[in-house]
């Protein structure tokens, strides 16, 4: 969604009594919606309050500044993403091909692959002023994900007798997923999640053709 698109509509008035943690999560979700509609630079406490159907004072009480609100929103998204791919990986067993398939599938979980979340991630990626914040909040998570992807690619390469440097293969797979996310957010008309997954699986099949096709894991 472009920054000039219609702003998100205010939510229905929430219950007046909420725990501090629930209220903060509500405001972070409203921040994600505001980032998607208005972009990083035009997201303000006032706009987040309007989206949440709350007063500016209440948003200020919980987060004090726009910088703190955006920092905690990014931390929330980063932890959500980390727990998501770990959950998928834990269910894949020990086979490296199944583990790679799980990592590629995790990025299209409908809970995290939504227009608002993709746009929010893009807001953080695209603004120069947010890059130090992104590195502080997400750098260690990205490193852990990249190491795991490289390790899985190395094991699958050995298992199948494939060529190529595992670190480079992992990087190509990662940037393909990120590029598909960007495509899904900016292309008009956009394509389906099934087509997005087929695109990523086609990339995996180029490196591991006996284990992947555009339909996904073989066997």
Asked if residues 77 and 113 have their Cβ atoms less than 8 Å apart, the reply is no
Asked if residues 67 and 31 have their Cβ atoms less than 8 Å apart, the reply is no
Q: What are phi and psi of 32, to 5 degrees?
A: -60, -45
Per-residue pLDDT tens listing for the chain (219 residues): 444 455 565 555 555 556 788 889 999 999 999 999 999 889 999 999 999 998 888 888 889 899 999 999 999 999 999 999 999 999 999 999 999 999 999 999 999 999 999 999 988 887 756 678 788 878 888 999 999 999 999 999 999 999 999 999 999 999 999 999 989 888 767 789 999 999 999 999 999 999 999 999 998
Q: How many residues does the chain have?
A: 219
User: Per-residue pLDDT tens for 123-153?
Assistant: 888 775 667 878 887 888 899 999 999 999 9
Asked if residues 37 and 1 have their Cβ atoms less than 8 Å apart, the reply is yes
Bridge partner list, 217: 212
Q: How far apart are CA 127 and CA 146, in angstroms?
A: 23
pLDDT of residue 2: 41
Q: How far apart are CA 175 and CA 159, in angstroms?
A: 24
The residue assigned the tokens 């199944």 is 98
Q: Which 8-state DSSP code applies to residue 14?
A: P
Domain ranges of the chain: 1-64, 66-217
**Cβ contacts of 174 within 8 Å, gap of 6 or more:** 145, 146, 149
Q: Name the CATH topology of 1-64.
A: Arc Repressor Mutant, subunit A (1.10.10)
pLDDT of residue 16: 52
pLDDT of residue 3: 42
pLDDT of residue 187: 76
Q: How far apart are CA 11 and CA 121, in angstroms?
A: 22
CATH among 3.40.50.1860, 1.10.3080.10, 1.10.357.10, 1.10.287.130 for 66-217:
1.10.357.10
The residue assigned the tokens 């795991």 is 148
């Amino acid at each position: 969604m472009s920054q000039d698109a219609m702003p998100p509509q205010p939510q229905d008035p929430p219950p007046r009594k909420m725990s501090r943690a629930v209220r903060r999560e509500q405001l972070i979700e409203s921040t994600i919606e505001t980032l998607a509609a208005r972009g990083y630079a035009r997201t303000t406490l006032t706009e987040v309050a309007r989206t949440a159907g709350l007063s500016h004072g209440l948003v200020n009480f919980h987060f004090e500044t726009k910088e703190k609100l955006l920092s905690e929103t990014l931390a929330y998204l980063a932890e959500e993403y980390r727990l998501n791919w770990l959950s998928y990986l834990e269910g894949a067993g020990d086979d490296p091909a199944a583990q790679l398939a799980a990592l590629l599938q995790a990025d299209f979980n409908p809970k995290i692959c939504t227009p608002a979340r993709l746009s929010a991630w893009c807001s953080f990626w695209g603004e120069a002023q947010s890059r130090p914040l992104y590195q502080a909040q997400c750098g260690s998570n990205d490193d852990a994900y990249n190491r795991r992807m490289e390790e899985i690619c190395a094991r699958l390469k050995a298992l199948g007798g494939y060529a190529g440097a595992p670190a480079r293969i992992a990087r190509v797979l990662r940037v393909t997923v990120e590029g598909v996310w960007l495509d899904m957010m900016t292309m008009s008309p956009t394509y389906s999640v099934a087509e997005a997954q087929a695109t990523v699986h086609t990339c995996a099949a180029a490196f591991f053709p006996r284990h992947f096709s555009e339909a996904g894991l073989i066997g």
